[in-house]
Amino acid sequence: MTNGANDVLDVTIDGTVARLTITRPDKRNAVSDTLMDALGAFFANPPEDVRIVILSGEGEHFSAGLDLSEHVARDAAQTMRHSRNWHRIMDMIQFGGLPVISVLKGAVIGGGLELAAATHIRIADPSTFYQLPEGRRGIFVGGGASVRIGKILGADRMIEMMLTGRKYTAEDGLRLGLSHYVCDSAAEAEAKANELAAKVADNAQLSNYIMIQALARIEDMAKADGLFTESLCAALTQTSDDAQEGLNAFLEKRAPNFK
């Protein structure tokens, strides 16, 4: 079922899976304001039955990042607002409560890499390459890369990546944590996304929600606060009906049937 579509983002609901496809292949899926708005509108109010999202791009590239044709028209104040708006929408993707799988191919550049880094499971195919070419464009990252990609790579490696504009390959990305999987082909990457979507959507919903909400935040906390927060999360999940079902299913040697 197609739930809604516009000319930059196709949204198709397939049971509990929402398939979001960026549909600007002629512009290498560059992230325009309209595309950001469309992503924000979906994650602000996802359909009730959706349990997981698969995000991909039409054509040969996941995303070439910030739409540079729009960038030139902004002054400092507008650029600040633009960056803060990207932060808001990337946070909605990361912390909205729905697991998001991104299927990567071709260019995953600049804002495209920022978008991918806001997703929870990243699956690449061999054509995938990663780049932060902001230095060559005379700009800086603004969609959360300093925090999210810095955390994946470490500031040291991210500085070198930005200064030199180097490209990391799909295999490099796997080694560095930019993706979690590299499949042998685009078709296999799609299949892997579908397989993992079915598996993750089948988890207890509260467990998924708490994983998404808590773990990245705990990473930012002092140790004592992190451990306390972990106990609160354990108290919430382990006293749920689904926890009882999960334990019963294990003891009865059957698959759990979560609500």
- Piece of 22-30, 33-41, 93-101, 117-125 that binds ligand 1HE (CB under 6 A): 22-30
SS (H, E, C) 157-220: HHHHHHHHCCCEEHHHHHHHCCCCEECCCHHHHHHHHHHHHHHHHCCCHHHHHHHHHHHHHHHC
User: What residues pair up with 181 in beta bridges, in sequence order?
Assistant: 123
Residue the block writes with tokens 């994983």: 211
Query: For this structure, is 114 an active site residue?
Result: yes
Query: For this structure, is 195 an active site residue?
Result: no
x/- site string to ligand 1HE, residues 131 to 160, per CB under 6 A? --xx--x---xxx-----------------
- Piece of 50-58, 108-116, 157-165, 241-249 that binds ligand 1HE (CB under 6 A): 108-116
DSSP secondary structure code for residue 148 in this structure: H
Among 143, 140, 158, 137, which residue's Cα sits nearest to residue 112?
143
- Piece of 67-75, 118-126, 146-154, 166-174 that binds ligand 1HE (CB under 6 A): 67-75
- The footprint of ligand 1HE on residues 78-107 (CB under 6 A) is 83, 86, 107
- When computed from its CA atoms, the radius of gyration of the chain, rounded to whole angstroms, is 19
CB of 131 to ligand 1HE, least distance (A): 7
CB of 240 to ligand 1HE, least distance (A): 38
- The footprint of ligand 1HE on residues 207-246 (CB under 6 A) is none
Ramachandran quadrant class, 50 (left: phi over 0; alpha: psi -120 to 50; beta: rest): beta
- Piece of 41-49, 59-67, 152-160, 166-174 that binds ligand 1HE (CB under 6 A): 59-67
Choosing from 58, 70, 114, 230, which is the catalytic residue? 114
Among 152, 197, 145, 164, which residue's Cα sits nearest to residue 14?
197
Residue 110 within binding range of ligand 1HE, rule CB under 6 A: yes
Residue the block writes with tokens 């071709």: 106
Binding-site ranges for ligand 1HE (CB under 6 A): 27-28, 30, 61, 64-69, 83, 86, 107, 109-111, 133-134, 137, 141-143
